[in-house]
Structure 1
Amino acid sequence: MPSEGCCTHLLPWSPLDLVVSNPPYIFRKDMEQLAPEICSYEDLVALDGGDEGMDIITHILTLAPQLLNASGSIFLEVDPRHPELVSSWLQSHPDLHLSLVGVREDFCGRPRFLHVQKSAP
């Protein structure tokens, strides 16, 4: 479960035009397969995104209506499996008035960057 402080510290500065995040997004089952140098030097809390790597992502998206101005955007770096998961999650939460409006690929051609935008209710 994400910590209560995740993104809520931004609320006093809202509404924001833009939020950019590289949240923890690694699927928990994939954590044990990380390269040894990653496990040795990275804070594992900054990598572990929960069962489907979506714990912090969904927390950010849930706060988005309070964080963003009327047409504000969120840009997220995610796992290549996440564009479809995030799209489905957003469709199941229409009350948030958020849309996945863009997916960009990394240098290896994998879908890794999401553009989510707030729309008018």
Structure 2
Amino acid sequence: GPGSWTHLLPWGPVDLVVSNPPYIFHQDMEQLAPEIRSYEDPVALDGGEEGMDVITSILTLAPQLLKDSGSVFLEVDPRHPELVSSWLQSRPDLHLSLAAVRRDFCGKPRFLHVQRSGPR
């Protein structure tokens, strides 16, 4: 569950968190290639209804985990930059902002750079 990431807190404060979290939208799980479905643990893929469950858990902890101008780098679904951006705007208390979105080799927005700013 969302609380299961608190074991990371003793590692802080850190400059950088890099994660390739489970980010697949739950309804997309059944459309995955059979070889992925057979060999990958569903928990490592299924990010919940909007694929955001683990992403938001990591970002919720980030302010406690990061140094003042620390960063989180996430690999996400191309639909996520917009969802993460609006989620961050709904959580001003976290003092995180979407600093950059990078595209993959196919030109899809897949990598998020989230930066911490503001008070601890």
Pair in the same fold by TM > 0.5: yes
CA offsets 1:36-62 (integer angstroms, 9 cap, x no match) = 000111111100000000000000000
Aligned to 1:5: 4
Aligned to 1:40: 38
Aligned to 1:101: 99
Aligned to 2:78: 80
Report deviation, 1:13.
1.4
- Structure 2 length as normaliser, TM-score? 0.96
The number of residue pairs the alignment matches comes to 119
Cα distance in 2 between the residues matched to 1:70 and 1:4 = 23
Which stretches in structure 1 are left out of the alignment for 5+ residues?
A: none
1:43-58 mapped onto 2 (5 Å cutoff): 43-58=41-56
Cα distance in 2 between the residues matched to 1:80 and 1:34 = 16
Report deviation, 1:70.
0.5
Aligned to 1:59: 57
Aligned to 2:15: 17
Which stretches in structure 2 are left out of the alignment for 5+ residues?
A: none
State the one-letter code of the partner of 2:66: L
Cα distance in 1 between the residues matched to 2:98 and 2:2 = 25
Report deviation, 1:5.
2.2
Pick one of 70, 79, 82 that aligns with 2:68: 70
Deviating 4+ runs (over 4 angstroms) = none
- Conserved 8 A contact 2:101-2:112: yes
Report deviation, 1:3.
4.8
CA offsets 1:6-32 (integer angstroms, 9 cap, x no match) = 3x2221111010000000000000001
Aligned to 1:92: 90
Q: CA RMSD in A?
A: 0.8
Cα distance in 2 between the residues matched to 1:3 and 1:35 = 27
